[in-house]
Amino acid sequence: MVGDVSADPKPAPRHVATAEEWAEFHAIYRGSRCRVCGGQYEELHHLVPRSQSGDDALGNLIPLCRSCHQKVEARDKLARMAVRGSLIASHRDYLRRKLGERWEVWLDRNYPLLDPEEIASLTGPEPELELELPPGKPCPTCQRRIPYPPRTDSPATRTVSYRVPTDEYDAHRDVMEAAARHIGVFERPHWQWQLNALAYALVLQDESLRGFAHREAA
């Protein structure tokens, strides 16, 4: 039916990554945890399947262990809900670009959120003892990070924002996340600020960068 946004996307040309690109993807996610169970990541799952022209791109890849990857591919409801809970801005941006205005309908259909009764029917009664996770660690079920407790000595904070050219936005986000993972701050609160502070310090320490913009313009 024309205009039926509930249908899955039709096959279209997809980006197939080179061996070098795959090596880079795995390097970026090295040390990451499975987005379903919290175990060690072993494989990368395509959010939009390759059969539906899903690209080999960071915005379309989810790190999973082999067991959970099999569950997600088998359309296990709890595993798919956990994947959805782990999505970050770059994943949603990819879905918008790939699927257009129907992306949210597609997401609800393929990675649905479950109501409490349905979750209970799939998991059984809750255990008496709750799993205690340290602040900053992701919940193994929903992947949301455990919040840090408020501290009386925490400094007051303000929001800092800047604009990025539209055609460079996705690359900018991917590079930021890759750099944060590389130096080990991605799992910390306010990782963007920590990454920027380190980058600025390195620039100021490197005399070879003095006047760089003027040399480029010349």
Tell me the whole-structure pTM to 2 decimals.
0.53
Residues 105 and 97 sit within 8 Å (Cβ to Cβ): no
At 126 the pLDDT is 54
Among the residue ranges 25-34, 80-89, 131-140, 161-170, the one predicted with the least confidence is: 131-140
At 166 the pLDDT is 77
Residues 114 and 81 sit within 8 Å (Cβ to Cβ): yes
At 189 the pLDDT is 67
Residue with tokens 């990368």: 44
Per residue in 173-211, pLDDT (tens digit) is 788 888 888 888 777 767 787 888 888 888 788 777 677
At 4 the pLDDT is 40
Nearest Cα to Cα of residue 27 among 15, 49, 44, 39: 44
| Residues forming CATH 1.10.30 domain(s) in the chain | 19-123
Cα separation of 15 and 80, whole Å? 24
Cα separation of 33 and 41, whole Å? 5
Q: Could you tell me which CATH class the domain 19-123 is placed in? A: mainly alpha
